[in-house]
Amino acid sequence: MSLTATVDRLSRPLRDLRVSVTDRCNLRCPYCLPREAFGRGFAFMPQRELLSFEEIARVCRLFAGLEVGKIRLTGGEPLLRRELERLVDMLVAIDGIEEVALTTNGTLLSAKARTLANAGLRRVTVSLDALDQRTFESMSDVRVPLERVLEGIDAADAAGLRPVKVNMVVRRGVNDHCVLAMAERFRNRPEILRFIEYMDVGSTNRWRREEVVPAAELLARIEARWPLQALAPERPGEVATRYRYRDGAGEIGVIHSVSQPFCSSCTRARMSAEGKLYTCLFATAGLDVRALLRGGADDRELQDALRERWQRRTDRYSAERSRDRAEPSQQTAKKVEMSYIGG
C-alpha cells in the first residue's frame, strides 16, 4: 500500500471512483428502477442539477490526488448523456488516472463503442440478464430487442474495449433458469460473464432473501456441466471471484455480496449524477460535493472534504446484513437507489 494512500477507519484504501452521469434510463429493471416507483410522470433530474463534465473532471482530478486510479462511468444509463465521449477525453488526460471504464445496459452501445474507444475508454461492462426475449423483457420491463444488446457487445469488442464483461443479475424464479444458457453462450468467446447475486440496493425494489440464488449454488450448476478451476484475483479490491473452465473455454466470475460479503476489501467511492458522494452502495446519506463546487470551494478545500469523508468511513452494510439477516422492511433508514449511483 502506498504511504500516501487515503484509508478509512477500517484501513481500506481509496482506489476506485464510480461516477453516475445521469439518473435516467431507457429500461425499468425491477431490481434497479422499478416501474411502480419510476413510472410515467416520474420527475428525473433537470439538466441544471446534474454535474457538468467540467465539474466531474475537476472532482476526478482531485480524487486522482488521493490515489484513485480507476474511474467507472455509470448511470442510470450513461449513454443517454449526450457527448459522453467528451467527458471520457477529459478524464483520460488526468495524471494518475490509469483507466476509464463504462457500465451500460448495451442498448445504445453499438452506435457509440467506436467513438468512446477513440476518446480513450478502455473497458466496458454490459448488463444482460437473459438470452431469450421473453425473459429479457421480464427483467428489463421494456420492449427492447435483445439483439440490440448483443450487437452492442460485439461492437465493443470490435472497437477494442476488451475484454467486455457481461453482468447477469440472477433472481430465483425469474431468470435463474437462464444461467446455463448464458454460460454456454459466452464460452469460447472473448467476453467474461459474471453472475451477480440479487441485492437489496435502494428502498424500492422489494428485495426478498428467498429470491437470492447464492454464488455457491450458481457455481455448482455450472460445474456440473463444465468443470471449473478457481483463479487468483487480478488486483486488490476486486469484487468478482474468478474461475476458468478447465477445458480452456474461457473465464467466468461471481459477485456474492449477499452470501459472502466483501466489505473488508472494498475500495470504492461513488458519486451520484447530482454530485453526492457515497462511500457504500447501500448508503443512506452522501456528501454534497455539488454544493462545494458551486459554492466557491477551492481545490484544497474540496480535496480535504473528499479525503475526510473517506477517512471517516466505517461502512460494512453487507457484512452486517449477513450477520443479522434483517430484511429491508425491518430497516428504518432509506438507502440511496442504485439508479442514482450506478451499482
Q: Is residue 197 part of a domain?
A: yes
Report the DSSP beta bridge partners of residue 241: 254
Q: Is residue 284 part of a domain?
A: yes
Q: What is the pLDDT of residues 332-341, one digit of tens each?
A: 567 787 777 8
Sorting pLDDT into bands at 50, 70 and 90, what band is 3?
very low
The phi-psi region of residue 275 (left if phi > 0; otherwise alpha if psi is between -120 and 50; otherwise beta) is left
Is the pLDDT at 330 greater than 50? The verdict is no
| Rounded CA separation 280/270 (Å) | 7
DSSP codes, 245-307: ETTS--EEEEE-TTTS--GGG--EEEE-TTSEEESSTT-S--EEHHHHHHTT--HHHHHHHHH
Check residue 40 and give its pLDDT. Answer: 81
Sorting pLDDT into bands at 50, 70 and 90, what band is 323?
low
Check residue 34 and give its pLDDT. Answer: 83
Check residue 270 and give its pLDDT. Answer: 96
Per-residue pLDDT, averaged over 120-133, amounts to 97
Unique residue bearing C-alpha cell 478457481: 230
Q: Is residue 1 part of a domain?
A: no
Contact 258, 197 (CB under 8 A): yes
Check residue 325 and give its pLDDT. Answer: 54
Q: Is residue 10 part of a domain?
A: no
Q: Is residue 8 part of a domain?
A: no
Q: Is residue 227 part of a domain?
A: yes
Contact 120, 97 (CB under 8 A): no
| Rounded CA separation 191/189 (Å) | 6
For the chain, how many structural domains are there in total? 1
Q: What is the pLDDT of residues 232-269, one digit of tens each?
A: 988 877 889 999 999 999 999 999 989 888 888 999 99
Contact 15, 279 (CB under 8 A): no
What CATH number should be reported for the domain holding residue 240? 3.20.20.70
Domain limits at 34? 16-341
Range with lowest mean pLDDT among 127-131, 222-226, 262-266 = 262-266
Burial of 299 (0-12, 13-18, 19+ CB in 10 A): exposed
Is the pLDDT at 74 greater than 70? The verdict is yes
Per-residue pLDDT, averaged over 287-310, amounts to 98
Quick one: which of 89, 78, 94 has its CA closest to 117? 89
Sorting pLDDT into bands at 50, 70 and 90, what band is 59?
very high
Check residue 328 and give its pLDDT. Answer: 47
Choice between 292 and 233, residue whose per-residue pLDDT is larger: 292
* E strand or H helix at 312: none
Quick one: which of 332, 317, 295, 269 has its CA closest to 67? 269
Share of the chain above pLDDT 70, in %: 94
Cell numbers standing for residue 184:
454456454
Contact 50, 21 (CB under 8 A): yes
